[in-house]
Structure 1
Amino acid sequence: MDQSPAGFDLGDFFYAQQGVRVTLPYAVKAFGVLVNTNLPQTNFLIINGQTTFATAAAYDFHTFTFLGVISDTAFSQVGWFTSEVANVAEIQYERLGGGVVPEPGTWALMILGFGAAGAALRRRQAAFA
């Protein structure tokens, strides 16, 4: 599984006033927004389907340019709401989590394959010079 951050650059022509909703290509646990103007009074809203399961309180971000959200539950949509126009330059998101554990059927096929290879090696007659 790719653990590197992904994202897309929105350029300088994306302005958000009073609300933006972003749908990501897969569920994530971390999300960040890079803004090149100051965001006044911003609310973050994490959305999973149609259900809102986490909302950040309004904060004054006049001195920050990067905003982010991390959640214990995976989400695929994020919205944020500002009281004024803000120029959003870049959005980044990252898949978090441990390595993937193979299914029991995959383990069974792997063990069966090793057994078949071992049986074939035992049956092969040794060549003497």
Structure 2
Amino acid sequence: MTHYPPARISSPHSDDPVDPRVEALVNEVIGRVADKWTMLILEVLEQHGEQRFTRLGERVGGISQKMLTQTLRQMERDGLVVRTVHPVIPPRVEYRLTDLGVTLAEAFCGVWTWAEANLDRIEAARQTFDARKAAG
């Protein structure tokens, strides 16, 4: 079996090699944001602002309490959300996007814009592909 050295990745803005830490972070962020729960939580917090834990879970829809907790903890660790515990009985916990979280949500607005602009083309391509596959 032949082993090849890893490819050298260049910065999209220059021919300089990418700092391995930047490459690792990009891979982590893509993996995390590609997670549907992170994307949906980002969207809810961007659209509705600070949310109580329970209300956030309702607005995300279909997420278990355990998955909501895990996703929010990871987002908090990454600096995307701030968790605020209000000292009342029962305790009230709220989440809001940080400036970093807002910029990430804004970056993914481009994906929504692209999807809206290209929806018909993608659906047509899929129909053509599926028809060709069905024909044999």
Q: Point out which structure has higher relative CO (alpha carbons under 8 A, 6+ apart).
A: 1
Structure with greater strand share of residues? 1
The answer to whether TM tops 0.5 is no
Larger Rg belongs to: 1
Give TM-score scaled by structure 2 length: 0.21
Structure with greater helix share of residues? 2
